Structure 1
Amino acid sequence: MSASGLVRAVRTYLDHLGVERGLAVNTLSSYRRDLRRYVDFLASREVHELDQIDEATVASFLVHLREGSEEHPALSATSAARTVVAVRGFHKFAVRDGLTQVDPASAVRPPTPDKRLPKALPLSDVEAILEAAGAPDTVLALRDRALLEVLYGTGARISEAVGLDIDDIDLVDRTVLLRGKGDKERLVPVGSYAVEAVEAYLRRARPELVSRGKGTPGVFLNARGGRLSRQSAWSVLVKTADRAGVTRDVSPHTLRHSFATHLLDGGADVRVVQELLGHASVTTTQVYTLVTVDNLREVFATAHPRARG
């Protein structure tokens, strides 16, 4: 098949996607752009027939995507993966349509997308959220302040926080017993701010909430006296962040990310943070160290007299 024939094969595939599969215009444009890049790559290596393409050729194209060239900048793992998906689809179609007998792309896997770094809130945003949670001084506000203080103060997952029972909290020793994934338990220290907030809630608010329900050992209760759900706890945080004027996206996991990042920024050992978060492997926790390294780079770049330029 000539180079123009290869182009015709790609056009046939794109027609198939647009007419028979009914892909959206924007999606079809992405496929067209990705396959044009592939055809250009093949032409630069004087590959003019489908049967000339083997697995090594497709793998070389993937390397080319990641390394880039003078004509085309390197692609991120996510963009390269999308392009490889288009190429794999094209070759699968070519076999099914009888244009060739071998699919050279079937064993070439798209690259794993770059691991997204957790987004931590600045301490000022966290403090603004916690302050907003305690106002006005009502039964539910006392609960909300205690809940958010526990989430940020312990790094608990939202399911762990709403799953707390009264016996899991020891305000004298300042510890909470959290039950994580696989029912694994861990004892986590609680700071003074969280202790004060929980004490105020247990003394001044929870008895009233309990009286509205059938009695439950749960620490955090809803307005009807039942255990607070994950969805309701999530809503508490989102609404409080909005009242505090925090414009960043906020979720319960954001507080967990912030807990870990702020600890590492303060000099905590990564293995200590691993234990506090309940991670089975330190590898999971080490992604937070990348965040702190970025913070250090930023400080260095702005503060060191010979770091500019």
Structure 2
Amino acid sequence: MVRPAPELAPDLAAALEAFLRHLAVERGRSPNTVRAYRSDLTALLARLPGAGLTALDLAALRGWLAEAHTAGVERATLARRTAAVRTFTAWAHRTGLIAVDPATRLEAPRPRRALPVVVTAQQASDLLAAACAGAAQNDPVALRDLLLLELLYATGARVAEVCGLDVADVDRGRRTLRVRGKGDRERMVVYGVPAERALTRWLDVGRPGLERVGSPPALLLGARGGRLDPRVARSVVHRAVSAVPGAPDIGPHGLRHAAATHLLDGGADLRYVQELLGHSTLATTQIYTHVTADRLRAAHDQAHPRA
């Protein structure tokens, strides 16, 4: 059962809506980020007494986070809530809604970074081979699904970025895509020959079969001719991966992890992978530099004189 959002006093509700517009329009934050910040800040502001924003002090913020920690909220969620509060109070102080920013000394717990679960290179190959076989009859949906899988694995792009592509974003001569990532930042990603073959079949046969009057210029279309919904794309990936024996249950982000891991396994430079994935800092990309016990053993056996 989903709990209804608490009602806010009119002045708090107005401040929150103004802040969320600032996030979306001026800072270019994604709809998912805006949605998460709305939820976090609504829960916080609903706790304030009649004094409104003037009651928002460091003790109130720490108490709110402490209660969430006691209730078992994960560290990553606590870190996100802290980021939401810091961004909101800095904005409120800058716009004159509060005299002092109370979150300047608010510390966030460091989220534990778990190693990503990835498919092996062979499992990825088997997944794509099965998708190619499924598209042998040139069914438009099967051709679209094949291209979706190829692009996700080839480029390491996020599912929202791939679903947001327009036909005009494709440079087939250079085999590159112009994707729009977090913060509406653009970057170029490259794809290989297998993805180009899937793209050719999709544009020649598949897309015309799904296109309708009024269809958007989207590269990938849904069954009714609209832009492919990321939720449908996730279902496609889960279904395709579940058909590969021994493969872990992953979604589109798992293919992004696999692309990064396999690139580094193959000797790609870490900064190239950072650019491909659209990470703002190298530290985010470094999670993919983990090595498996098998790889460590193989390197040891090959190189150490006492192996």
Assess, with a 3 A threshold, how the Cα gap between structure 1 residues 111 and 183 changes in structure 2: closer, same or farther: closer
Cα separation, partners in 2 of 1:215 and 1:144, compared to 1, 3 Å: same
How far 1:246 moved relative to its partner?
4.5
Amino acid at match of 2:229: S
Structure 1: runs of 5+ lacking an equivalent? 1-77, 82-108
Q: Corresponding residue for 1:55? A: none
Contact 1:133/1:240 (8 A) holds in 2: yes
Q: Which amino acid aligns with 2:254?
A: T
Other-structure match for 1:73: none
| Contact 1:152–1:256 (CA under 8 A) maintained in structure 2 | yes
Query: Structure 2 matches for 1:170-189, cutoff 5 A?
Result: 170-189=171-190
CA contact (8 A) 2:160 2:230 kept: yes
Query: Does 1:299 pair with 2:274?
Result: no
2:119 and 2:258 in contact (8 A); partners too: yes
CA deviation string 1:5-58 (max 9, x = no partner): xxxxxxxxxxxxxxxxxxxxxxxxxxxxxxxxxxxxxxxxxxxxxxxxxxxxxx
Post-superposition Cα deviations, 1:177-214, rounded to whole Å, max 9, x if no partner, equal 01000000001111111111111111111011003x52
Alignment CA distance shift 1:307-1:260 (3 Å): farther
Change (3 A) 1:163 1:113: closer
1:103-182, aligned counterparts within 5 Å? 112=110, 114-134=112-132, 135-136=134-135, 137=137, 138-182=139-183
In the alignment, the residues of structure 2 paired with residue 230 and residue 307 of structure 1 have an alpha-carbon distance, to the nearest angstrom, of: 51
Task: Say if 1:221 and 1:283 are closer, same or farther in 2 by CA, change over 3 A.
Answer: same
- Judge conservation of contact 1:121–1:258 (CA < 8 Å) in 2: yes
Larger Rg: 1
Q: Aligned AA for 1:147?
A: L
Unaligned runs of 5+ in 2: 1-71, 76-106
| Counterpart contact for 2:117–2:250, Cα < 8 Å | no
**What root-mean-square deviation, in Å, do the aligned CA atoms of Structure 1 and Structure 2 show?**
2.4
Q: Could you tell me the percent identity over the aligned residues?
A: 41
Over residues 121-155 of structure 1, what are the superposed CA-to-partner deviations in whole Å (9 max), with x where a residue is unaligned?
Answer: 11111011111222143211111111110000001
TM-score by length of 1: 0.60
Give the stretch that moved more between structures: 237-246 or 252-261.
237-246
Residue 71 of structure 1 is matched in structure 2 by: none
Q: Tell me how many residue pairs correspond in the alignment.
A: 200
Cα separation, 2, equivalents of 1:110 and 1:152: 33
Q: State the one-letter code of the partner of 1:183.
A: D
Equivalent runs, 1:56-71 vs 2, <5 Å: none
**Alignment CA distance shift 1:113-1:184 (3 Å):** closer
SS at match of 1:188: strand
Q: Kindly provide the amino acid, as one letter, of the partner of residue 119 in structure 1.
A: V
Q: 1:262 to 1:145 in 2, by over 3 A?
A: same
The whole-number CA distance in structure 2 between the counterparts of 1:110 and 1:187 is: 33
Matches within 5 A, 1:271-282: 271-282=271-282
**Distance change in 2, residues 1:254/1:295 (3 Å):** farther
Report the TM-score, using the length of structure 2 for normalisation: 0.60
Instruction: Give me the whole-angstrom Cα distance separating, in 1, the residues matched to 2:306 and 2:180.
Output: 46
- The DSSP-based 3-state class of the residue aligned with 1:292 is coil
Distance 1:196 1:110, change over 3 A: closer
Per-residue CA deviation, residues 215-244 of structure 1 (Å, 9 max, x unaligned), is 211111111111111110000011111223
Report the secondary structure of 1:149's partner residue. helix
CA deviation after TM superposition for structure 1 residue 256, in Å: 0.5
Q: Distance in 1 between matches of 2:306 and 2:211?
A: 59
Q: Which amino acid aligns with 2:114?
A: R
Tell whether the 8 Å contact from 1:163 to 1:218 is kept in structure 2 after alignment.
Answer: yes
Cα distance change on mapping 1:294 and 1:264 into 2, 3 Å: farther
